[in-house]
Chains A and B, each alone.
Chain A
Amino acid sequence: MKNTLRQITQSPKFMIGFCLILVLILTTLIYPLFSPGSPLEMIGLGTFFRPGTYVSVYDSVTTDKRYTINLTDAAEKRVASKLASEDKEVMKTWLLEFGIAEEEIDLEDTEALLDLWFNTYDESIRFDNMTTAVRKHVQRTDAKLDGLLEHQDIIVADSAADGSLVEGSLIKGNEYINVAEIANVRVLPLGTDNFGRDMLKEMISALGVSLMIGLIAGAIATFIGLALGLLSGYLGGVVDDIIMFVTNLFTVIPSFVLLILISFSIGQSDRGATTVAIVIGLTSWVWTTRSVRAQVTSLRNRDHVNLSKLSGHSLIRILVTDILPYIASYVIMAFILQICSGILAEAQLSMLGLGPKTTSVPTLGLMMFWAMAYTAHLNGAWWAYFPLVILIACISFSLNLMNTGLDQVFNPQLRD
């Protein structure tokens, strides 16, 4: 027993899988401590805000503490952020005409482009094959650039008591504020979803709920499968016939179809996360029953079981002490796989719109569903679905890795 435990902890596959899962579980437990509040709070008005740091405009304008910092490339960066791509195209046309090699013009690197432009552009040069319209366009663009580069201060107007505007503070181009000193800053590492919820926070909360669903579904499925398999395999006879009849019935009906039908008949308003987990558990025990039964059938004729009977032990005691330990390793592995398939089943169900009701808790499946419903993939809002896919894959990967590790310990001939 101790030996087996040591072997398990020495199996790199199991330990990697185990640590990954542990990290995920700890994250769901610890993250809410650092970021309190409901994960379903709709903080953003609008859909799919990009990931980033959001700073209150009001607070940054009204803050009294300002620092003057002179950065050489500040102006160019400012221009770059305002330069439209069609302006760049116009500049490129002129520069090519001037004789600059195409490789030297990099439209992505706006600063380099501006440098090149200010060094080479001369209004007086006229190219013969350039139409007046284009020449005028180039001139306008150049004027715009000059305008952008000019240091213009901005005056913030305050409204006076009588409703008229009076000059408030003056903001210069080289004035800075420290983000740490601003009252309202919100980091949204994964932006927001279609409802304007903090994606990261929602996802971590959903991870916890999904793991919970997997655990409940897996525990129910394994428990039913184990109990039926033990009874059917050990008792044999009529009990076996009845249990196998029911099991075969469930095998013929694909469990996912059954799952869909049951979820559908329960109705959206009554489907909490726990209900969904129970339904998943109740429809996925068939496989465990069959394999436990097969193992027990071969165990029940072993002499140690006969000897236990001869020692007058009760049925329950024989099942628990003489049969269960022999299949325990197998049951643990089945349990881990059931957790995994429970999580995936929830995701599938939710993507069909049959998951838990949306208003109470987030789940990984529900988040996928909404991302799809609001066509996040077409809007380029990768942050609304890609982290979810990675997370689901990660759970599945680590649980399966744990299982492979266990398999290698329990069935040594599989070791490579």
Chain B
Amino acid sequence: MSKSVLSGKGVTKVFGLGDKKTVAVDHVNFKFSKGELVSIVGESGSGKTTLVKMILGLLSPTEGDIYFMGKKRDIRTRKQKREYWKGIQAIFQDPFSSYNIFHKIDSVLMDCINMRGGSHLPRDEKIKMITEACGFVNLKYAELTNKYPFELSGGQMQRLMIARIFLLKPQILLADEPTSMIDACSRATILDMLLQCRNEVGMTIIFVTHDIGLAYYISDSVYIMEHGKFVEHGTADQVILSPTADYTQRLINDVPKIHAPWDFAKVASTVSAQA
């Protein structure tokens, strides 16, 4: 196994105090290798987004340490944060709330170039880079320029988010359910682009999803999360073809299969066994 780019030890997040205390993420350990596509699977409310935000440095862990590139992460100052975010980026779940509705979408892409130290480049050069990035996700920059986010469809917005990653070329990408708000038809296209982008840039992708079938289809290794804990992890084949945790089994049963009738009885029995 190659060197780990990102790992965590005993990472914990507790929201609130006293009676209102919620342990969103509970002492999780993880280790992601370079170039890997890791899925984190769990039902909604299991703490996936909270973990993603801690990894991104948007939330500080209540407990535990995160290691980036083998070194303990230190992002206390703004400069350190900026440096960290050059290496680690994200795509969020809801494209409609990911954009500042008051800004034209050009500014989002311009920011990426500036962030990578391209602020001194002539405007033509920048436009060329943006056009290339848009072309990568099958969008025509000429049609998008001077438009506001609300003039785009959800699929287009999410593709533009991939274009942003294409421009930023981070080492690690955290994709927090990037396709869950997208209609099924655009979903495949977006996943495909994400994978292409990974090949192009050569980054590690941490793919968060509630869809275990999808995880099996795309990932190298899988972490299963239940109530803030990782209950199982391993290669995709290991975890999904021979699950050891009940929770994993349940997630697998929840996936409807097109070629076979959905066995409600089986789903119900595992659920009641859980309860």
- Quick check: is A306 within 8 A (CB to CB) of the other chain? yes
- Quick check: is A312 within 8 A (CB to CB) of the other chain? yes
- Quick check: is A387 within 8 A (CB to CB) of the other chain? no
Whether B115 contacts A314 by the Cβ 8 Å rule is: no
- Quick check: is B56 within 8 A (CB to CB) of the other chain? yes
Residue on A nearest B94 in the bound complex, by CB: A303
Measured between alpha carbons, how far is A359 from B93 in the docked complex, in Å?
A: 65
Task: Name the contact of B92 in the complex, choosing from A303, A311, A322 (C-beta under 8 A).
Answer: A303
Whether B112 contacts A311 by the Cβ 8 Å rule is: yes
Query: A306-B53, A306-B58, A307-B92 in contact; A312/B81 too (CB < 8 A)?
Result: yes
Task: Name the contact of A1 in the complex, choosing from B58, B89, B102, B112 (C-beta under 8 A).
Answer: B102
Residue on A nearest B86 in the bound complex, by CB: A312
Whether A322 contacts B89 by the Cβ 8 Å rule is: no
Instruction: Encode B93-125 as 1/0 by CB contact (under 8 A) with A.
Output: 110011111110000100110010000000000
Task: Name the contact of A308 in the complex, choosing from B53, B82, B100, B112 (C-beta under 8 A).
Answer: B100
- Quick check: is A325 within 8 A (CB to CB) of the other chain? yes
How many chain A residues sit at the interface, stated as a range, is 10 to 19
Q: How far is the CB of B16 from chain A (nearest CB, A)?
A: 13
Instruction: Encode A282-308 as 1/0 by CB contact (under 8 A) with B.
Output: 000000000000000000001110111
Residues of A contacting B81 with CB < 8 Å?
309, 312
Measured between alpha carbons, how far is A313 from B90 in the docked complex, in Å?
A: 15
Measured between alpha carbons, how far is A308 from B108 in the docked complex, in Å?
A: 9
A302, A304, A308, A313 — most chain B CB neighbours (10 Å): A304
Whether B78 contacts A306 by the Cβ 8 Å rule is: no
- Quick check: is A310 within 8 A (CB to CB) of the other chain? yes
Whether B115 contacts A312 by the Cβ 8 Å rule is: yes
- Quick check: is B216 within 8 A (CB to CB) of the other chain? no
- Quick check: is A38 within 8 A (CB to CB) of the other chain? no
Query: A303-B92, A321-B103 in contact; A310/B85 too (CB < 8 A)?
Result: yes
Q: How far is the CB of A328 from chain B (nearest CB, A)?
A: 9
Whether A311 contacts B58 by the Cβ 8 Å rule is: no
B56, B99, B100 — most chain A CB neighbours (10 Å): B100
Whether B89 contacts A310 by the Cβ 8 Å rule is: yes
Measured between alpha carbons, how far is A304 from B103 in the docked complex, in Å?
A: 11
Q: How far is the CB of B147 from chain A (nearest CB, A)?
A: 13
User: In the complex, which residues 1-31 of chain A have their Cβ closer than 8 Å to any Cβ of chain B?
Assistant: 1
Measured between alpha carbons, how far is A326 from B100 in the docked complex, in Å?
A: 9
Q: How far is the CB of B203 from chain A (nearest CB, A)?
A: 15
Residues of B contacting A326 with CB < 8 Å?
102
Q: How far is the CB of A2 from chain B (nearest CB, A)?
A: 11
Residue on B nearest A311 in the bound complex, by CB: B111
Q: How far is the CB of B48 from chain A (nearest CB, A)?
A: 15
Residues of A contacting B90 with CB < 8 Å?
306-307, 310
Task: Name the contact of B100 in the complex, choosing from A1, A304, A310 (C-beta under 8 A).
Answer: A304
Measured between alpha carbons, how far is A314 from B114 in the docked complex, in Å?
A: 14
Whether A312 contacts B82 by the Cβ 8 Å rule is: yes
User: In the complex, which residues 127-141 of chain A have their Cβ closer than 8 Å to any Cβ of chain B?
Assistant: none
Residue on B nearest A318 in the bound complex, by CB: B100
Query: A303-B92, A306-B92 in contact; A311/B97 too (CB < 8 A)?
Result: no
Q: How far is the CB of B43 from chain A (nearest CB, A)?
A: 21
Measured between alpha carbons, how far is A150 from B173 in the docked complex, in Å?
A: 110
Residues of A contacting B78 with CB < 8 Å?
314
Query: A303-B92, A314-B78 in contact; A309/B58 too (CB < 8 A)?
Result: yes
Measured between alpha carbons, how far is A304 from B115 in the docked complex, in Å?
A: 17
Residues in B lying within 8 Å of A, measured CB to CB: 53, 56, 58, 78, 81-82, 85, 89-90, 92-94, 97-103, 108, 111-112, 115
A1-B102, A304-B98, A310-B56 are known; give 6 further A-B pairs, CB within 8 A: A303-B94, A304-B97, A310-B90, A311-B112, A312-B81, A312-B85
Q: 17 interchain pairs (CB within 8 A)?
A: A302-B97, A303-B93, A303-B94, A303-B97, A304-B98, A306-B56, A306-B92, A307-B90, A307-B92, A307-B98, A309-B85, A311-B111, A311-B115, A312-B85, A313-B111, A325-B100, A326-B102
The 7 closest A-B pairs by CB, nearest first: A303-B92, A325-B102, A312-B82, A303-B98, A311-B111, A304-B100, A303-B97
Residues in A lying within 8 Å of B, measured CB to CB: 1, 302-304, 306-314, 321-322, 325-326
